[in-house]
Amino acid sequence: MVDGFLLFAVLDVWRMVLPLGLTLLLLVTELLCRWQGDSYQRGLREVLNSLVVRLTVGLLVISSVVGLLVPAILGFPLPESHIAVGPWSYEEMLGFVLGGFCLWKSLQKNGSGKPSGMVWLGCASVLFFGAGVLWLARWDVMAHEGHVAGGWFVLGLSTVDWTRVVPKSLHLLFAGLAAGGLVVTLLGLLGWSGEPVATDSISRSRFLPSDGQVRYGVGWMLAGLVPQMFIGPWLFLVLGEGPRGGLIDGAGLASAFFIVGVMAALLAMVLLNASFMVPHVKGLVWGGIICTVITLVLMGMVRYVMFLSTLEGQGIPIAIGNVTVFHLLTVLVLTGLVGAILVRWCVRPLSAFHAKVEL
């Protein structure tokens, strides 16, 4: 019973941070193109235009499948009852559908043959962030009240404690930037920059790393990680006494996850910052990426454990056991499987784009 809910809770984080972060990066890149000239990061824009749509759809489908399986694992009689009173709200689902539509519209070409662009990207960013805030507020109410109203959550916003939701929303925003920057950095390291390369070897040109794009992605990763050093203590202060003590007692898994996650984030910032000075040393970038992924996964686990601790602190009865090392390994394996599915789903359009460029 724990495994299904744990998988849902942790993967839900990726469903939030990746679409939001990549859409914001695409929007900012479009703005920079207007200021710096149309050629600035042109290849990255072309790749991200297709990648963001496919990644968002893939994450939404996977989360929907898991979300339908979780009620069966937890014993809900109908999936609709879980959707109505569980982690999802109708406004959130509507926001994702409309956000995906706006992303699709941003792909359409205007009269000059260019993507119709910024207005639709701006609308998608607002919709994804709004859905994220509602998602955070709903989880916060469930943790402190034990239940939420029906599927239309906006009508019950008066029960939301914004002193907790505001720092969580900022945390989500910058986590999205870090995750988006991570994807852009990987694209640069693996050679999926979208830039045409003057070479006779098609296979070589497909996998030729782009230092400029790597540094661009690293910059956004740092833009997401550095503010967390200020938001993290704020979040720590708004936690209840029980969950806050569980993070620093040094005896439980939650404390271990938290300490390792913070150390990994600090190490990631050191490595990524050093990569700016020696961009040819790709080991620094890969080390920063690995540490960032560790931070994102472990903080997802900490979020789940804090949810359980808050329920216990409020005296709300729960039918979910404590997290064990087995659960951590399960989440890591299944997250890797989901990542492989998304890579397979998203790499094909990149291959087609490169083939079109090289012709």
Residue holding tokens 């703005």? 31
DSSP conformational letter for 208: -
Q: What is the pLDDT of residue 270?
A: 93
Q: What is the pLDDT of residue 170?
A: 93
275 vs 137: CA distance, rounded Å: 37
Q: What is the pLDDT of residue 10?
A: 64
Q: What is the pLDDT of residue 5?
A: 58
CB-based contacts of 351: which residues, under 8 Å, 6+ apart?
Answer: 206
Q: What is the pLDDT of residue 200?
A: 44
Q: What is the pLDDT of residue 88?
A: 63
Q: Are 185 and 242 in contact (CB under 8 A)?
A: no
Please name which of 261, 275, 246, 88 lies closest in space to residue 181, comparing C-alpha atoms. 275
* Residue 196 one-letter amino acid: P
Please name which of 298, 296, 231 lies closest in space to residue 259, comparing C-alpha atoms. 298
Q: Which helix or strand (DSSP H or E) is residue 131 part of?
A: helix 118-145
Q: What is the mean pLDDT of each run of 10 residues along the chain (359 residues)?
A: 56 82 87 68 71 79 67 49 54 84 77 66 91 85 72 69 90 91 85 53 50 85 91 85 77 82 92 84 89 86 80 69 67 73 66 49
Please name which of 296, 290, 305, 297 lies closest in space to residue 255, comparing C-alpha atoms. 305
Q: What is the pLDDT of residue 38?
A: 58
**Would you state the structure tokens that stand for residue 310, as one six-digit string?**
């808050």
* Residue 237 one-letter amino acid: L
284 vs 305: CA distance, rounded Å: 31
Q: What is the pLDDT of residue 265?
A: 92
18 vs 319: CA distance, rounded Å: 30
As a residue count, the chain comes to 359
DSSP conformational letter for 318: -
Q: What is the pLDDT of residue 327?
A: 67
